[in-house]
Amino acid sequence: MSFAIPVFIILLAVAILAGLIIFTCVRAYNKRLDRITKGEVHGTHSRIPDPSAVTTAVFRIIITVVVFISFIFISSIYGRVYSLPDRLESEMHSLNIRISELNDKVEKIGRNGSETSYEIKDISGNRVKLRYEAELRSFSDDTQVTLRLNGADYPMKQDSAGIFGAEFETDLFAHYSESQILIRENGRTTVEETGFPEELFWDVLPLPQLTNTVREDSSFFSPKYSGEYILTVNDPSGIKTAAVTNIIDGKETGSFDALDKIVNGLPISYSDIPDGKDFVIRIVIGTESGYVITYDMPLFTAGEASETLKIEDQQGGLLYKLEK
């Protein structure tokens, strides 16, 4: 719309200018004919052009200008339409993030209005000690609250007005497919969502999340790729050591210390990666709590590489493995 208004003004100005040119030419031509009729001028030769020729020339110029402006206008519209999917994808990504955040909040607020949270107290091996709390919107002195995880019940005591809590020990690497809050009051039992993660270790351990930007270095014979990536973790204070190894088609091509980059969320650059190759980074993180996390993350792949996560204890005992 903002581009259409200047186009209209330009076309209007061109039309007015063309009208003035034709009007001036016709007026001058008529004056000369009048002088010839009165005998004031002898001979028909004149530098004043024939109005029909002027009109034809002006119309051609107008058509040329209109075609040129239309071409620019259509190119502008095409550019906007062509970039529309990228803008929509960006907007959808932002919208999905907001919806996800809203869903997380909704999961923490059940029909009773309960808000839930948990705090890690201690970690040893595959066992974790934590405190879980639920704050109820409505309650009484007779309200009884129980946390149920995979069939195991943990009674919750009221520590202050409306805040019920329980401390217990559980498996850090278990899959919690069942998690409920049972609220008993006046002989009735209601069930609330817990907000408890299905796999606790994803929230507890410093597992890296990857953001990757790839650029293609144009080459007619052998195109290559370069770019940079950022590795972020939910709690960098729990990291003791961190290293990254580059792997191309299954062969290690170099390793480097990445502790500062990961802790501070700084970009890590790469270059000269041949086309059609599997490029994987292997992140090895040692935690203050004694875990060794090995994470193979493909930056781009020709179809062979896969994402692999392995978590071990200090003695090399396997605690968790995932391949996808």
Predicted pLDDT at 282: 96
Predicted pLDDT at 267: 94
Any residues with CB less than 8 A from the CB of 44 and at least 6 apart, and which?
36
Assess whether 217 and 242 both reside in one domain: yes
Predicted pLDDT at 266: 93
Crossing angle for the helix pair 51-108 and 4-37, to the nearest 10 degrees: 170
Assess whether 141 and 245 both reside in one domain: no
Query: Where in the sequence is the domain holding 149, given as residue range(s)?
Result: 115-199
Element (H, E) at 18: helix 4-37
Assess whether 54 and 122 both reside in one domain: no
Predicted pLDDT at 3: 47
Assess whether 86 and 119 both reside in one domain: no
Nearest alpha carbon to residue 262 among 246, 290, 240: 240
Assess whether 158 and 239 both reside in one domain: no
Using the 3D structure, point to which of 78, 107, 136 is the last residue of a domain: 107
Q: What DSSP string describes 60-104?
A: HHHHHHHHHHHHHHHHHHHHHHHHHHHHHHHHHHHHHHHHHHHHH
CATH code, domain with 295: 2.60.40
Question: 3-state class of 250 per DSSP?
Answer: coil
Assess whether 191 and 225 both reside in one domain: no
Nearest alpha carbon to residue 179 among 102, 107, 104, 99: 107
Any residues with CB less than 8 A from the CB of 281 and at least 6 apart, and which?
229, 244, 245, 246, 247, 296, 297, 299
Using the 3D structure, point to which of 199, 220, 246 is the last residue of a domain: 199
Using the 3D structure, point to which of 107, 134, 164 is the last residue of a domain: 107
pLDDT (tens digit, 0 to 9) for every residue of the chain, 324 residues total?
444 556 667 767 777 877 777 777 767 666 766 666 666 655 555 555 666 666 677 677 777 777 777 777 676 666 556 555 655 665 676 677 777 667 665 555 545 556 888 999 988 878 899 999 988 888 888 889 999 999 899 999 988 888 999 999 999 999 998 899 999 988 888 888 888 889 999 988 999 999 888 887 765 556 788 889 999 998 898 899 999 999 998 899 999 999 999 999 999 999 888 877 889 999 999 998 889 999 999 888 777 778 899 999 888 889 899 887
Instruction: Please count the structural domains in the chain.
Output: 3
Predicted pLDDT at 9: 75
Q: What is the CA radius of gyration of the chain?
A: 37
Assess whether 317 and 293 both reside in one domain: yes
Any residues with CB less than 8 A from the CB of 96 and at least 6 apart, and which?
none
Predicted pLDDT at 56: 73
Assess whether 213 and 317 both reside in one domain: yes
Q: What does the alpha-carbon distance between residue 195 and residue 134 come to, in Å, rounded to a whole number?
A: 10
